[in-house]
Amino acid sequence: MPETTGPDGRNELGLIRPAPDSPVLADFTLTSTHLAENPLIDTPSAGPLIDLRRFADREHLLLASYAMHSRDTAGRVHPEPPHAYRGPFGRDRDRILHSSAFRRLSGKMQVFTGEMGTYHRTRLTHTFEVASVARTIARVLRLNEDLTEALALMHDIGHPPFGHCGEDVLSASMEDVGGFSHNQFALTIVEQLEQRYHAFSGLNLSSETLAGQDTRAHKSEAAIGRAPLLEVQIVDLADSIAYDAHDVDDALQMGLLSVESLMRLQIIQRAMDRVRQKSGDSAGRLSRLSADSSKMEVLGNPMRQLLVHELIDLQVGDLLKHSLEQLQAAEGLSADQVRDAGIRLGHSDDVMLERTELEQFLFRAVYRHPRLMPVREAAADRVATLFATLRATPARLPMRFRRRAETMPLNRVIGEYIAGMTDGFCDQQYEDLSQSSHGPLADW
């Protein structure tokens, strides 16, 4: 049967025919059983035929030399045969997405608690926003999107309940065992606590995925040592772009911030200029709008959302422009060589300063807002009481954690048990502990 080919030389299956009369291709027929008969393998296909269903071919065609190519992975602790149609980092991403720790992100507060409504971000929605921003950046820079997405989906799974106040309590309670780090705990989850396979504990993720999270757990060392993979760097940058922008959005929506106070910040002025340009409002009508979010409307769109959109877009645009300039000299270098060369992607100097100003403002005006502090203090008290009670009566730990305490310091095990909880689950265990004096608490 004659094959129809599009104007770009690809047929409907994504196969590229570089030369229509190529003798190499003359006898090639692709049937619906191709996949079953010829499992796709981890190496690029031989010859001129590029099969876009093969992740190795896709990477060969689409990724920059300095991207982390799947063919160069150092593999997994427990070796596994290659998958028929998913690359190693795509498998990592799926393992994280299907983990119970990932699902629990929906019950963990980012900055604001559920007592404050349902508009604001949870850790799950934050995580998806980070993954979206990071994937966009990865695609433009021609980095490995699967690895980027795996790292983004994993980056916050180690957060304890009640955000940073929960982390502060655990850190203080676990001082004798080195404190608590949510980035380190994310590694403990994927390496030890997730139970999905008979043969081993954890998710058996690829070496580069684990190393990326380890970089987050050792940020100060990573800042001076060998540069992390570019995919690791952009997830970190996407994380801060996403949370700064959505904290502005959430805080405005909840009335914790006024537009007037924000308008003193350079980066907000820059974003507002872009909103005005796009709406054709050069007379500054927007700047005179009320701080009342219900009145912040322009051209039928909520101004808050226009502002947040521009805030993300200008930062991503600046990061891409600056990164592409930095990477010009890296053309032809491998991922390893780029790390050795110490390339660290980032924003332009102007935007970096403006971001710092925004973050300092948010820290003072939002994270320490009087409406947040009592909620946080009450949550911190509950976490501290739960920890102290389990410390005094370790028999109340679930069986899995009592077993763990046979080979590990009790304070670390209690910290892990509490850190894996959602906000609601933590409150429930706190109630159960105070209402009954015996019996183990529930496992997550």
Residues contributing to the site for Mg ion (CB under 5 A)? 156, 239
Unique residue bearing structure tokens 């949870």: 122
- Length of the chain measured in residues: 444
Q: Determine the residue type at 332.
A: G
Whole-angstrom distance, CA of residue 30 vs CA of residue 15: 10
Cα 124-165-249 angle, rounded to 5 deg: 50
Q: What secondary structure does DSSP assign to 86-98, as a single string? A: --HHHHHHHHHHT
> How many other β-carbons are positioned within 10 Å of the β-carbon of residue 245?
25
Q: Return the sign of the alpha-carbon dihedral for residues 172, 178, 183, 187.
A: negative
Retrieve residue 299's tokens: 């051209």
Angstrom CA distances, 306 to 136, 235, 298, 303, 316, stand at 19, 24, 9, 5, 15
Separation between Cα atoms, residue 213 and residue 183, nearest integer Å: 7
Tell me the C-alpha to C-alpha distance, in Å, between residue 300 and each of 22, 242, 282, 295, 426.
57, 25, 17, 11, 42
- Please report how close the Cβ of residue 240 comes to Mg ion at its closest, in angstroms: 8
Q: Are 268 and 374 in contact (CB under 8 A)?
A: no
Residue 202 contacts residue 191 (beta carbons within 8 Å): yes
Look at residue 298 and give its three-state secondary structure: strand
Nearer to Mg ion, 156 or 167 (CB): 156
In this structure, the number of other CB atoms found within 10 A of the CB of residue 305 comes to: 13
5 token code pair: 């080919």
